[in-house]
Amino acid sequence: MARILILNGPNLNMLGMREPQIYGTNTLSDIMERTAARFNGRAVIEWNQSNHEGALIDAIQQARANGYDGIVLNAGAYTHTSLAIADAIAAVHGATPVVEVHLSNIAAREEIRHRSLIAPVCIGSIAGFGADSYALGVEALLLRNN
Ligand code: DQA
């Protein structure tokens, strides 16, 4: 069965209380548990969250070392700023494909959020479907895996 890591970046631990008009009222652990349950019998989903750029890079590198079949990554604001995370994704690309996801539709928000430094090194991007963006990201990896 496919093993997939859902990796969450800065401030996503604040979901539920953070700008609920943009990100909804569910907590990150609610969303992660519901997403994992949705793929029962189809994939093993593990998840993680960090507010720290280096910890996210370590998690991406370790996902490759530990043989994960792919990563669904919501890099939060690092999406728009982190060349280091983009480099980490590029470094694991062949072995561990990464799907970029966002709860909000970043293309419809402030201009600074329109640019994603990680998009060119991910296999694709999903944004704007709220919590369902995560499940769509997992689905994309599974389709590719079969
Ligand atoms: C986000 C969008 C980012 O621009 C923002 O910095 C976040 C969350 C999203 O899921 O919509 O932290 O990645």
Q: Which atom of ligand 1 is nearest to the CA of 133?
A: 10
CA 47 to chain CA centroid, Å, is: 9
Residue tagged 């430094």 (tokens): 117
- The pLDDT value given to residue 145: 74
Binned at pLDDT 50, 70 and 90, residue 146 comes out as low
* Spatial contact of 109 and 117, defined as CB atoms under 8 Å apart: no
pLDDT in tens, 51-85: 999 999 999 999 999 999 999 999 999 999 999 99
Q: Provide the token pair at 124.
A: 């694709």
Domain layout of the chain by residue ranges: 2-145
pLDDT at 36 over 70: yes
Nearest protein Cα to ligand 1, atom 6? 77
Architecture of the domain defined by 2-145: 3-Layer(aba) Sandwich (3.40)
Q: What is the pTM of this model?
A: 0.97
Ligand 1 centroid to Cα of residue 138, in Å, is: 18
**Contacts of 106 by beta carbon, 8 Å cutoff, 6+ apart:** 79, 113, 114, 116, 127, 128
Query: What percent of the chain has pLDDT above 90?
Result: 97
